[in-house]
């Protein structure tokens, strides 16, 4: 088996706790996680070590749905989040593991994402592109400072 891992890095102009919340609140996830052209539905979200989640992405163009779920392996608020993903589709077998690190830097948060175990049917460059799109939408969500 080949190494099916991607690495991403992004610096966001927002504090680490705010960026972390975007990864752990359902209302936020549906705004930024699905790549361009997809919508997201969160069915279950229990963010704690050993907790589980379940969600689906729907292609807005043709309506196809990819459902998936997983378990939180590590939850360290504002610092680190590690979870698994498993697609319901038998054509996308195996379990992915995603590790996200949140580091405070002078201008906000340095975000590092490592996703491994990507199914062979998903080209790595498409997975990387999807994450780039998602992280761009994440910036639109967390960077504005809107007065109360």
Where do the domains of the chain lie?
6-37+73-142
Where do we find the tokens 């379990």? Answer: 95
Question: Would you say 73 and 85 are in contact if contact means Cβ atoms under 8 Å apart?
Answer: no
Handedness of CA 63, 124, 68, 74 (dihedral sign): negative
Region 95-105: mean pLDDT is 98
Superfamily the domain 6-37+73-142 falls into: START domain (3.30.530.20)
pLDDT tens string 35-59: 999 999 999 999 999 999 999 999 9
Tell me: the pLDDT tens digits for 104-125?
A: 999 999 999 999 999 999 999 9
Among residues 48, 29, 25, 47, which one has the least CA distance to residue 39? 29
Instruction: Decide: 57 and 73 in contact? Cβ < 8 Å.
Output: no
- What are 11-34's pLDDT values in tens digits? 999 999 999 999 999 999 999 999
Q: What is the pLDDT of residue 1?
A: 41
Query: Residue 2: pLDDT band by 50, 70, 90 thresholds?
Result: low
User: What is d(CA 67, CA 69) in angstroms, rounded to the nearest whole number?
Assistant: 7
């Amino acid at each position: 088996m080949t190494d099916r891992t991607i690495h991403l890095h992004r610096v966001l102009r927002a504090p680490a706790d705010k960026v972390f919340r975007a990864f752990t609140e359902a209302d936020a996830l549906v705004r930024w996680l699905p790549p361009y052209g997809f919508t997201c539905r969160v069915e279950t979200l229990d963010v704690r070590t050993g907790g589980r989640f379940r969600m689906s992405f729907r292609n807005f163009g043709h309506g196809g749905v990819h459902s998936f779920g997983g378990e939180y392996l590590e939850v360290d608020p504002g610092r680190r989040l590690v979870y698994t993903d498993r697609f319901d589709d038998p054509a996308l077998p195996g379990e992915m593991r995603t590790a996200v690190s949140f580091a405070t830097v002078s201008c906000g948060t340095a975000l590092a994402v490592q996703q491994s175990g990507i199914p062979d049917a998903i080209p790595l460059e498409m997975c990387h592109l999807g994450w780039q799109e998602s992280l761009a939408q994440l910036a639109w969500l967390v960077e504005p400072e809107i007065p109360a």
